[in-house]
């Protein structure tokens, strides 16, 4: 029990890495919520989205010059294009529009639907089992995130918008489809290779519609703070975050990756406390504990591979019993079993 093989140790190390990657990506996205909202005060949503796509594409292509060249199968290019639609165009781009139309509180609440939607999509597409532990973990985590969001609500949060809320929901559904349906691409290619093509495709989708918005920007009137905020959206919320989330996608199940979405309200609340815009209390402490407990419960739930292994083990044990029943001779059941186990 206290010892494990080198293969098991390597698997555990990869599992830990996957969790760290998912955690880091969602910390970066959690910081992007307040920072991106501030940037929208001086830039249009379409402009910020275009900066994000084009800027991140440039970063990934620049980084790829220092990495080992990876050849992409031409048959996978269409898959990468659709992956870009669901992971970037319909997710991050649509979310920025939704955030600009609704309140941060509403947007945060809607983001808690990601693990639920991902579990449903994974059950349909990957045939992942919907276990009691998985459902319980998602429910516990969602309750923690919801308590945290509501405890952080202030009277000046602004009014929500149904259209804005629906756009934020569409963004979550889109990303859950990406995590589940396009998991194979993340296994086949490195995060750098995937992202450099995905962000190029996303840029191609946005530039025709955003050209006039970007051209109309009066750069002399834009504050330094707004430029830095837009820079974070590009480098932190896009370039670095997508390296980490795709690395996590290679190592973890889609539902486990999506559970880290509950970290974003925690990050937003922590930033508010550091800036003196909020206070830490028992309610927030309980909410944060529930989020981490929910993530832990989901990681302990069984995957389809686990059930398949158990099924094979049961089949093998039944086969052994059948052999024992039909072996002729005078050897006892115990002695024959010892021979089979010892070689």
Structure confidence by residue, pLDDT tens digits, 260-310 = 887 887 787 777 777 665 666 787 788 778 877 877 777 777 666 656 665
Tokens of 7: 């293969």
Residue 28 DSSP SS3:
helix
For residues 63 and 190, what is the distance between their CA atoms, to the nearest angstrom? 12
In the predicted model, is pLDDT for residue 329 greater than 60? no
- Predicted pLDDT of residue 336: 38
Q: Is 214 exposed, middle or buried (0-12, 13-18, 19+ CB in 10 A)?
A: middle
Half-sphere exposure of 315 toward its Cβ, with a 13 Å CA cutoff?
Answer: 6
Closest CA to 107 of 161, 178, 35, 40: 161
Structure confidence by residue, pLDDT tens digits, 4-33 = 455 555 656 778 898 999 999 999 988 887
- Predicted pLDDT of residue 6: 56
- Give me the mean pLDDT over the 171-197 stretch: 89
- Give me the mean pLDDT over the 143-157 stretch: 65
The winner for highest mean pLDDT among 166-175, 181-190, 234-243, 297-306 is: 234-243
- Predicted pLDDT of residue 232: 94
Q: Model-level pTM?
A: 0.73
Q: φ, ψ for residue 307 (rounded to 5)?
A: -65, -35
| Of residues 198 and 285, more confidently modeled | 198
- Predicted pLDDT of residue 127: 78
Alpha helices in the chain (DSSP H): 6-39, 45-64, 77-84, 94-101, 104-111, 114-125, 132-151, 162-181, 183-188, 191-215, 224-234, 241-251, 254-259, 263-274, 282-300, 304-326, 333-342
Work out the pLDDT band at 142, boundaries 50, 70, 90. confident
- Predicted pLDDT of residue 231: 94
270-300: b (≥16 Cβ within 10 Å) or e: bbbeeeeebeeeeebeebbebbebbbebbbe
In percent, the amount of the chain with pLDDT more than 90 equals: 24
DSSP string of 210-222? HHHHHHT--GGGS
* Mean pLDDT score of the chain: 79
- Give me the mean pLDDT over the 109-124 stretch: 79
For residues 190 and 196, what is the distance between their CA atoms, to the nearest angstrom? 10
Please, what is the end-to-end C-alpha distance for the chain in angstroms?
23
For residues 276 and 96, what is the distance between their CA atoms, to the nearest angstrom? 26
């Amino acid at each position: 029990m206290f010892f494990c093989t080198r293969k098991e140790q390597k698997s555990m190390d990869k599992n830990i890495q996957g969790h760290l990657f998912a955690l880091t990506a969602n910390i970066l996205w959690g910081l992007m919520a307040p920072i991106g909202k501030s940037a929208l005060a001086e830039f249009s949503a379409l402009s910020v989205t275009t900066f994000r796509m084009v800027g991140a594409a440039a970063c990934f292509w620049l980084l790829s010059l220092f990495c080992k060249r990876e050849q992409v199968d031409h048959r996978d290019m269409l898959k990468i294009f659709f992956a870009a639609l669901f992971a970037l165009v319909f997710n991050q781009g649509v979310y920025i529009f939704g955030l600009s139309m609704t309140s941060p509180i509403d947007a945060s609440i809607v983001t808690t639907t990601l693990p639920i939607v991902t579990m449903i999509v994974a059950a349909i597409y990957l045939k992942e089992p919907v276990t009691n532990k998985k459902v319980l973990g998602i429910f516990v985590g969602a309750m923690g995130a919801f308590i945290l969001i509501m405890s952080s609500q202030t009277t000046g949060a602004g009014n929500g918008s149904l259209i804005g809320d629906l756009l934020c929901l569409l963004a979550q559904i889109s990303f859950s489809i990406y995590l589940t349906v396009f998991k194979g691409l993340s296994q086949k290619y490195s995060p750098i290779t995937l992202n450099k093509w995905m962000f190029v495709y996303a840029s191609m989708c946005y530039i025709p519609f955003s050209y006039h918005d970007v051209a109309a920007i009066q750069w002399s009137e834009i504050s330094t703070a707004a430029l830095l905020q837009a820079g974070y959206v590009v480098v932190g919320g896009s370039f670095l975050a997508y390296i980490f989330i795709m690395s996590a996608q290679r190592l973890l199940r889609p539902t486990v990756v999506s559970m880290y979405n509950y970290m974003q309200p925690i990050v937003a609340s922590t930033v508010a406390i550091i800036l003196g815009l909020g206070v830490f209390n028992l309610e927030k402490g309980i909410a944060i504990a529930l989020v981490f407990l929910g993530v832990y419960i989901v990681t302990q739930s069984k995957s389809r591979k686990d059930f398949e292994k158990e099924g094979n083990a049961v089949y093998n044990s039944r086969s052994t019993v059948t052999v024992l029943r039909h072996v002729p001779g005078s050897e006892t059941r115990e002695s024959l079993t010892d021979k089979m186990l010892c070689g």
